[in-house]
Amino acid sequence: MKQEQSVRIQTSVLNGVEKKVLVWLAQRQPRWMTSDMLTAIGVVGALVVAVGYALSNFHIGWLWLASLGFVINWYGDSLDGTLARVRGTQRPIYGFYLDHNIDGITMAIMCIGAGLSGMLNLYIAMAVLAVYLMLSISVYINAHLKGEFKLTYAGMGPTEFRLIMVVVNTLFATIAPLREWAVRFDVFGTPIAFGALDIVGLVILVVLIIIHLSNFSRDLKGYEAIDPVKPF
């Protein structure tokens, strides 16, 4: 199957350092720890993120819990495959199917949690989720058609995204004026307000849309050259 032969393209800023850290951690995992357990830990991390964001409605200090959730999610999601490779227990077909289904689920959990935080508009959070899933679909199609599995764009991958969110959480948890700042305007008499986290969400959304459209256009031209219109 194509998934087994797909070339992983990982060019993120932290990739070199992260690989060394993950191998170091994998070599020190207890014997009873399995890749599936780590995948489950990643899901737990996503749930912790969502709970932390939702509870931040009641006290901003819960953002620290959300940040801890990102760390737990990174630990489980990033280490499961490394552990299998270090131990020589890879299951390429099973692992591909499980890992990338779980990726979509955990991203949905975290986006919903962020949208329930009261600091990020739920519609913006859902739009980010939708474009992320569109980009993921494109990646999986390319893995099948080109044998190319691209994990990063513009030097950014899942780890860099988590780190950015931890930094954003820290800023919001410690700087009160940042939480209170907002752009306010009326649309047909309806008051609209975009807070600082809404602006961050919109920037992420626009960047994801640009990346998706750019890659879609390039890949479509490539496939058109490989599979041109046939005369009849």
Count of C-beta atoms within a 10 Å radius of residue 218:
10
How confident is the model at residue 154, as a pLDDT?
67
- Of 73, 219, 63, 35, nearest to 144 (Cα)? 219
| Sign of the torsion angle spanned by Cα atoms 103, 203, 55, 116 | negative
How confident is the model at residue 28, as a pLDDT?
92
Q: In the numeric block, which tokens belong to residue 42?
A: 């990643």
CA distances 68 to 7, 47, 191, Å, are: 32, 11, 35
DSSP code for 121: -
pLDDT in tens, 12-52: 778 889 889 999 999 999 999 999 999 999 999 999 999 99
**CB contact at 8 A, 107 and 130:** no
How confident is the model at residue 113, as a pLDDT?
94
Output the CATH code of domain 2-226. Answer: 1.20.120.1760
User: Of the ranges 98-112, 175-189, 209-223, which one carries the lowest mean pLDDT score?
Assistant: 175-189
**CB contact at 8 A, 154 and 167:** no
How confident is the model at residue 118, as a pLDDT?
85
Domain ranges of the chain: 2-226
User: Of the ranges 118-127, 132-141, 183-192, which one carries the lowest mean pLDDT score?
Assistant: 183-192
Q: List beta partners, residue 115.
A: none
